[in-house]
Structure 1
């Protein structure tokens, strides 16, 4: 942050501390419940990073450490898709017997669980999670829409010792940093900016693309570009076409919903595969699912809705896309659900 490295724990702690301070304010006049501000049920994805168990353990340890620094001395941990399901069941207590699939498609991960709800009890049959979310869709849009306008695929002429050399501009060296706005400031170094300036000096038709790339790097517009992409994505959830407008780097692109769905075809395929994998883990068929709870911001994408309706016709319910998990965690804390932090392995 501003060229200073921070541990992830240091970035999460202020967020949790603000929540705890808000709890203290709410409970200030209720001495009997004042100690509740020391308790927290912390939600987590089924898998923090892919399917690597050690990454899950590290993620939980970091979350627990941040919670401790924020003053939550009594912590429980609960998978987010199960929290979303609990939130739905709390809102609709008349549902007494269902085999349910909760689909929590958020910004960073896709988390799923199959539950059997009988009476006042539920059984978690299977959980599954993959590193697929709105951020990955945003990155794909950046690749397909912006990379060609920033110089990807253009050629680069420069003088060698005894002849002129012409090759593709080494755009691949910029890609990872461009796609991660939090570290894109690292591009503002001579090793990256000098080749861009040399390419601009060639003054051909492609020079405008490299001037655009130079502006993005020097003014650190990567975050701004991603915000514009998020707005485009949101508009395409309610409109058949929308514009990606980034005047700071002279970009104005019209995109139809159909074109958007073509661009994210791989992500949609991965989404469907994750559904199939979850059903396989639960050892049930799609026809055995009686209710599908759809939540999370990315679940609002029409193509995602269509996939679920195709697999589970007439069984899909949208449930509080942005608040269901938080509500479910509050209910889980009240009912004493969740697991305590496991002891750290030596």
Structure 2
């Protein structure tokens, strides 16, 4: 059988596996990354039209003093009809062009690893790119178009939680059979499946009959970060500030759309639009807190939203181990030190957790299997480590059924393991 790649193009990180000679290997895709098997799904364009990806993009962005254009969470724009692309230093890039740059880099690194050209790929996709069916279909079309632009000719898609299940299946002894609930938590979506798995070698077979149910919700790691930003940090950038209308004494709130966009790290670059920046400038001149609006201008102009959200994400991760964490950030003359307790984090994210819990219950109900009939719960993705996310599963299935390993590479390994189902 020819060599086939498995590519997990993620909201936050991307990864690569190689299927050849009946075996799956995970390939290091970013030598500069703290974890070589993961590459940050980011792009950086400098003023000389050079394009950088992964950790190199982050390093170059810092080295250039944020003079270029930095992009992150590009996957989240795939289902967005209104975002067809963007212009960078006079050159236009479609959304598929942006994704293709990352996929092409991953493809090149994989080909260097195997020593030959590879034109077949199994791409992971969430159960839901969007809860709108038309937008969901648009996202897959765009992802396929990007893969073709990256040089792939044969393109197959596998649901990410199913891929995680196939990865888990490889750990089972021959003949062992289980009904498994898979929870795959990414940056943009949380995806779930109930699936029958069996240890041992399988002949090529259609596994669709083993998938008892699928479901997903557009609530995941990024939403938890956004909630911290909204509740704890956004006031430094204008949330709650009022301003006088032109020629009026009446006070108005900062437009909700500006603050809402500010609190989603992948959407912050949209605030760079000339019309919005002019609107912010006018608000600043009539604001009750001019300094906060200046902070907002600096965040947009200096493009440091990514680094602010890195600090927020760091605090969120620390709360999985500690009862208190601090969002600590300094830029220009702005210093932020905001404590966040685990209890507070859970309180402000109550609605996000409710949506995830409802989706878990729906997927179990659709499977026709009772909670007691689920043998194992296999969780993957960084968000699955958050204590009150784990508690959702412990309450429903019991702590003894929970398994968690290879949190960041289970999906990409399973994409490689999916190859015999397609080829």
Aligned counterparts of 1:133 and 1:85: Cα–Cα separation in 2:
19
**Partner residue in 2 for 1:196:** 284
Gaps in structure 2 of 5+ consecutive residues: 1-44, 46-68, 70-86
The count of aligned residue pairs is 322
**Partner residue in 2 for 1:291:** 376
**Partner residue in 1 for 2:350:** 265
Aligned counterparts of 1:140 and 1:25: Cα–Cα separation in 2:
41
Q: How does 1:1-346 map to 2 (within 5 A)?
A: 2=69, 3-4=87-88, 5-28=92-115, 34=116, 37-50=118-131, 52-94=132-174, 96-118=176-198, 120=200, 123-157=210-244, 160=247, 165-178=249-262, 179=264, 180-186=267-273, 189-199=277-287, 206-248=289-331, 249-313=334-398, 314-333=400-419, 336-338=420-422
Q: SS at 2:369's partner residue?
A: coil
Moved over 4 A (4+): 118-122
> TM-score w.r.t. structure 1 length?
0.86
- CA gap 1:53/1:95 in 2 versus in 1, 3 angstroms: farther
1:146 Cα deviation after fit? 1.8
1:207 Cα deviation after fit? 4.2
Report if the CA contact (8 A) 2:231-2:348 is conserved. Answer: yes
- CA gap 1:173/1:57 in 2 versus in 1, 3 angstroms: closer
- CA gap 1:166/1:305 in 2 versus in 1, 3 angstroms: same
Aligned counterparts of 1:142 and 1:24: Cα–Cα separation in 2:
40
- CA gap 1:337/1:55 in 2 versus in 1, 3 angstroms: farther
- CA gap 1:91/1:184 in 2 versus in 1, 3 angstroms: farther
**Higher helix proportion (structure 1 or 2):** 1
Aligned counterparts of 1:23 and 1:299: Cα–Cα separation in 2:
28
Q: What is the CA RMSD across the aligned residues, in angstroms? A: 2.2
Q: SS at 2:167's partner residue?
A: helix
1:154 Cα deviation after fit? 3.4
1:300 Cα deviation after fit? 1.3
> Deviation string for 1:176-205 (max 9, x for gaps)?
331322323237622222211332xx6xxx
**Partner residue in 2 for 1:342:** none
Report if the CA contact (8 A) 2:379-2:403 is conserved. Answer: yes
Report if the CA contact (8 A) 2:268-2:300 is conserved. Answer: no
